[in-house]
Amino acid sequence: MSTKPETRLSRAIREALLVDHHVHGALKADVSQAEFETLITESDRPIPTWMSQFDTQVGFAIRRWCAPVLGLAEHANAADYMRARLELGASEVNRRLLTGSGIGHFLVETGYRGDEILDPHNMSWASARPVNEVVRLETVAESLAASGVSAHAFPDAYVEELSRATAHAVGVKSIIAYRYGFNFDPNRPSHDEVVAATETWLQGVADGAAAKVEDPVLLRFVLWAGVDRGLPIQLHTGYGDPDLRLDRCDPLLLTPWIKLIEPKGVDIMLLHCYPYHRQAGYLAQVFPHVYFDIGLGVNYTGVQSETLIAESLELAPFSKILFSSDAWGPAELHFLGAALWRQGMTKVLQRWVDSGDWSESDAVRVVHMIASENANRVYKLQGAR
Amino acid sequence: MSTKPETRLSRAIREALLVDHHVHGALKADVSQAEFETLITESDRPIPTWMSQFDTQVGFAIRRWCAPVLGLAEHANAADYMRARLELGASEVNRRLLTGSGIGHFLVETGYRGDEILDPHNMSWASARPVNEVVRLETVAESLAASGVSAHAFPDAYVEELSRATAHAVGVKSIIAYRYGFNFDPNRPSHDEVVAATETWLQGVADGAAAKVEDPVLLRFVLWAGVDRGLPIQLHTGYGDPDLRLDRCDPLLLTPWIKLIEPKGVDIMLLHCYPYHRQAGYLAQVFPHVYFDIGLGVNYTGVQSETLIAESLELAPFSKILFSSDAWGPAELHFLGAALWRQGMTKVLQRWVDSGDWSESDAVRVVHMIASENANRVYKLQGAR
Amino acid sequence: MSTKPETRLSRAIREALLVDHHVHGALKADVSQAEFETLITESDRPIPTWMSQFDTQVGFAIRRWCAPVLGLAEHANAADYMRARLELGASEVNRRLLTGSGIGHFLVETGYRGDEILDPHNMSWASARPVNEVVRLETVAESLAASGVSAHAFPDAYVEELSRATAHAVGVKSIIAYRYGFNFDPNRPSHDEVVAATETWLQGVADGAAAKVEDPVLLRFVLWAGVDRGLPIQLHTGYGDPDLRLDRCDPLLLTPWIKLIEPKGVDIMLLHCYPYHRQAGYLAQVFPHVYFDIGLGVNYTGVQSETLIAESLELAPFSKILFSSDAWGPAELHFLGAALWRQGMTKVLQRWVDSGDWSESDAVRVVHMIASENANRVYKLQGAR
């Protein structure tokens, strides 16, 4: 393995305190290897016996980057890794990986399987870093459904409940990508449409269905309520689990809606975007209120994330790109999000500096913009701390 | 030209006996330069007089990699290359290129212009390697049409004929991509629909039309019959000749059908995939029964296939990626498929090992998985040999 | 910064006189930094106060490549750069950047905001190089609308006016991508349809609307009139300003129309194509009358254009790839288009020669094909000079 001499640029990247603008909690409890493997893939299917999820880019990256944090040699095998993980215990593993990540501020989205992972308070405790909350729009609706709200009261009740739920939040999140896709009618649905869709939905819940919001009218209603709330809106785009139709998660399909809400003055944060990150870069160039990150894709492409990072630095102004890990569960994903970003940025930017294409000062400025300055500005984090 | 020292990894790649899981026969006869040029492009149009198909990535790769196999210097010009090819004669050219490829096992799809190319028996003889057959679903239907089957008898007759045709086959292949695109109704068509579509189709044949299956009902019928047969199903996806609408060959459009057949327990082999190989990698990650290769694209992108190979190693577990050449005709394409794969894998994986991101042992394991182990498992080749 | 020794290949690239087959005029007048920044982005929105368009790949590339041409150090800051630019004055800036670009022949498209930029005559004077004209099909229709033509007379009048406007032109250009997208009915509209659409359009103009052609019937009419005219047809594809729906500018959507006009014998020049350049390469391989370039994307991706250039050298025969800058306004964009192309080609092709994959002679031949030979052949430029 070659070790490169440290430069002003590589030191700046190594020391940058990152704002992870879209992340979830770390696991509360110890997990077996079988459970762990289900948490390092976006597949929700049982893992076939003839394969291991460690034989993936993310699996190799965990063994290379996280093994030393747990006291093992780089590339320790999966069994040794899992043994060390259990011996240290969940909270020590979380502490080491979260504090070792160099993430300085977590914006935690709390809407998914919250009982298995650390809540924002405990994430802050485990990482010794400030945490702010991002509220999932659909989850607020789903918890209202459980409260016995009537269909007629729902629209106003949702707005009120969203206001309450986001009182201390720095952003909201939509998963319309998962639940429907971006080929939705971009216009705000009428009050009557919303009430009618709510009636059908609540009747289903009364009949025993899960309270999952899937009706496009309701998804659009909560999205527009998010616009009215005025906080930055995060949208899952691109790659995710098999629930979504990936071709309907191309952020370009959002263009009509992006134009429609432009006068509202809210910022749109396109999350992940893989494999449509070049398309996201275009949107971030031409629309002042559009930003993006390549979070999830960086973790799951491991060493090849260097290429993704380079491709994310094409059309978008550097003031429109953010860092995220999109980690959920194993703190390895929080750690890796940062480690792979640092490694990829170092390789890509150092190459551009070495060839004389970028000055080192410019490269360092860009690092700080993406690492934290853009997020601090958009989410107004200095005030929020 | 730089020569790199051999490493354990580069030796493993050089020595790996490949399973070419989707390939066709090599040319039976000698061909002129004009004929040869029409066989190294996916275009079926006459080649304009102002250009040569040798002035392409695949043409440059043939002159660089195959010229030495024919006794010429690397980069010999096209005229010298064709002269040497004729002097050696088709069967010596085939012998040198097929045995020199290091392909250890060919899964030969026989459904296209079979009279111009070696059949499986002769491919085995020319290469001195085992060959198994993959049967094209549409070709079985088309040969039935010539047998005088009635529309009412067709559905049962097709199932019976497919069973007979695949008695010794290891897989089946669908070209619904070429004939319609992936925007088809994913459901199995009803018996009545199939009979009605067959009537129209057979009437056309009786009136003198070619027996080509193009009706989406018939294409879906043979595809579902392939599912029932239970062998792995190969699907042409992505790049191919001008008959297809490339945008309708994005494998993501198969998602509803992929979900529908998931309980059936058959494996789906997405072939080629270029330029949608990242999308294929997503499908291979989230669906246990989805696999893919980047065969055709590797040959046609020549030296730039290194980038393709790296991009194919992103989301998919390494147990879900296969090798193929998709060669048809000139044995140069069989040879190059292997040579370019070896070169690209060596460049990409050695870089990752040298940077410390992958261990050499892991890299060697991944080479063996993609080279042969995954194919051996999916197609049950040890038993089939 | 590393400096590489000159090779036969790098010298050939440095000295190649380029044909810029799609470009616009350089700015007539001096501009402020605020104005300049609006001209180095495809966004037409006001630039937010918290950002500078210099903090982009194209901005960094201007400071790296153009600053020395204006007498400054590489990477001079934006304020110093703009000061030097004003001190030299528009015509000296144009002279230095245009003559310094090594572009030997400009094919200038004149249809957009022509009063702010140099016309072909003055572009030739400023660059000391020959200029030929490319005529925008929609602009010819829009100027006719102002002339008081009747709806019934319009179809014939358009053909006549197009003939007059293109008497000395070497090509025509369609912006149906911007105005509608490529999901248009590929067939030629009927005379009656055109007259009816013209009536509505002219009535709108009479009522005070801008004469902008947006009706798909009219857009198709002028496109087919372009086909009849027989000159090569340039089509904007892919990335551009926020007027377009990028997902509808994938050149694959043109496939039915490309097939329909194939017998007409006119050449189709797909411009820019980003991020669909791989799709364009497929079309250029399989259809003899399809060509492409990656002009606009090269400028806006700066140092990362090396990757774009490599990706453009995949499926397409080398006889089907052209050079363009697509510059409009600041002569920095004319200069950079050439400088980045030279740098990217040098890095990519030298790597392939150094690894032994390409011979140096072949690499030099490919440089000349893309630099000028393909354009000279398609546009018959030797005669046109």
What ranges make up the beta strands (E) of A60-151?
103-109, 131-136
Q: 3.90.340.10, 2.40.40.20, 2.40.110.10, 3.20.20.140: which CATH number matches B9-27+102-378?
A: 3.20.20.140
Above 80 in pLDDT, residue C307? yes
- Report the chain C residue with the minimal C-alpha distance to residue A254: C245
Confidence of residue B1 (pLDDT cuts 50, 70, 90): very low
Bridge partners, A108 (sequence order): A23, A133
Above 60 in pLDDT, residue A2? no
Given this model, what pLDDT does residue A384 score? 41
Nearest to B269 by CA among B308, B302, B236: B236
Confidence of residue B113 (pLDDT cuts 50, 70, 90): confident
Q: Looking at the partner chain, which of C311, C356, C362 has a beta carbon nearest the beta carbon of B1? A: C356
Whether the link from the prior residue into B275 is cis, omega within 30° of 0, is yes
Interchain pair B64, C356: CB under 8 A: yes
Q: Looking at the partner chain, which of B43, B57, B303 has a beta carbon nearest the beta carbon of C286? A: B43
Interchain pair A317, C60: CB under 8 A: no
CA distance C185 to C217: 9
Q: What pTM did the predictor assign?
A: 0.97
Specify the residue for token string 């016995």: A148
Poorest-confidence range of A224-233, B72-81, C3-12? C3-12
Residues above pLDDT 70, as percent of chain A: 98
Given this model, what pLDDT does residue A3 score? 65
DSSP A23: E
Above 70 in pLDDT, residue A1? no
Residues above pLDDT 70, as percent of chain C: 98
**CA C360 to centroid of chain Cα atoms:** 29
> Strand order of the sheet with strand C131-136?
C18-23, C103-109, C131-136, C169-174, C233-237, C268-272, C290-292
Q: Output the six-digit token pair for B362.
A: 């892991």
Partner B contacted by A51 (CB < 8 A):
yes
Using DSSP's 3-state secondary structure scheme, residue A250 falls into coil
Nearest to B109 by CA among B164, B175, B155, B158: B175
Given this model, what pLDDT does residue B146 score? 86
> In three state form, how does the secondary structure of chain B look?
CCCCCCCHHHHHHHHCCEEEEEECCEECCCCCHHHHHHCCCCCCCCCCCCCCCCCCHHHHHHHHHHHHHHCCCCCCCHHHHHHHHHHHCHHHHHHHHHHHCCEEEEEEECCCCHHHECCHHHHHHHHCCCEEEEEEHHHHHHHHHCCCCCCCCHHHHHHHHHHHHCCCEEEEEECHHHHCCCCCCCCCCCHHHHHHHHHHHHHHHHCCCCCCCCCHHHHHHHHHHHHHHCCCEEEEECCCCCCCCHHHHCHHHHHHHHHHHHHHCCCEEEEECCCCHHHHHHHHHHCCCEEECCHHHHHHHHHHHHHHHHHHCCCCCHHHECCCCCCCECHHHHHHHHHHHHHHHHHHHHHHHHCCCCCHHHHHHHHHHHHHHHHHHHCCHHHHC
CA distance A342 to A332: 15
Nearest to C108 by CA among C97, C96, C117, C116: C117
Confidence of residue C385 (pLDDT cuts 50, 70, 90): very low
Given this model, what pLDDT does residue A52 score? 97
Interchain pair C252, B242: CB under 8 A: no
Residues above pLDDT 90, as percent of chain B: 95
CA distance B384 to B170: 8
Q: How far is CA B2 from CA B18, B75, C10, C351, in A?
A: 26, 16, 18, 10
Domain ranges for chain C, please list them. Answer: 9-27+102-378
Interchain pair C1, A354: CB under 8 A: yes
Given this model, what pLDDT does residue C3 score? 65
Nearest CA distance, B364 vs chain C (angstrom): 23
CA distance B106 to A83: 42
Above 50 in pLDDT, residue C1? no
**CB-based contacts of B33, cutoff 8 Å, min separation 6:** B78, B79, B82
Using DSSP's 3-state secondary structure scheme, residue A133 falls into strand
Interchain pair A287, C43: CB under 8 A: yes
Specify the residue for token string 């929105």: C45
What's chain A's average pLDDT? 96
Nearest CA distance, B295 vs chain C (angstrom): 14
Write the single-letter amino acid at A113: R
Partner B contacted by A2 (CB < 8 A):
yes
pLDDT tens digits along C356-377: 999 999 999 999 999 999 999 9
Poorest-confidence range of A82-96, B111-125, B299-313, B342-356? B111-125
CA distance A100 to A90: 15
Specify the residue for token string 């879209």: A22
Partner B contacted by A246 (CB < 8 A):
yes
Mean predicted confidence (pLDDT) in A285-312? 98
Q: How far is CA C274 from CA A281, A292, B270, B310, C298, in A?
A: 11, 18, 26, 21, 9
Nearest to A126 by CA among A15, A17, A27, A35: A27
Above 50 in pLDDT, residue C379? yes
pLDDT tens digits along B188-197: 999 999 999 9
Host H or E run for residue A173:
strand A169-174
Mean predicted confidence (pLDDT) in B303-320? 98
Interchain pair C48, A288: CB under 8 A: yes
Q: Which residues of C touch A182 (CB under 8 A)?
A: none
Q: Which of residues 135-174 of B touch C (CB under 8 A)?
A: none
Q: Which subunits count as partners of chain B given 3+ CB pairs below 8 Å?
A: A, C
Interchain pair B282, A302: CB under 8 A: no
**CB-based contacts of A208, cutoff 8 Å, min separation 6:** none
Partner A contacted by C43 (CB < 8 A):
yes
* Count of CB pairs separated by less than 8 Å, A with C: 94
DSSP A115: G
CA distance A103 to A107: 11
Residue pair C282/C315 in contact (Cβ under 8 Å)? The answer is yes
Given this model, what pLDDT does residue B128 score? 96
Q: Looking at the partner chain, which of C2, C47, C301 has a beta carbon nearest the beta carbon of A315? A: C301
pLDDT tens digits along B61-84: 999 999 999 999 999 999 999 999
pLDDT tens digits along C246-301: 999 999 999 999 999 999 999 999 999 999 999 999 999 999 999 999 999 999 99
Q: Output the six-digit token pair for B295.
A: 């065969």
DSSP C229: H
Nearest to C345 by CA among C1, C2, C15, C27: C15
Host H or E run for residue C351:
helix C331-354
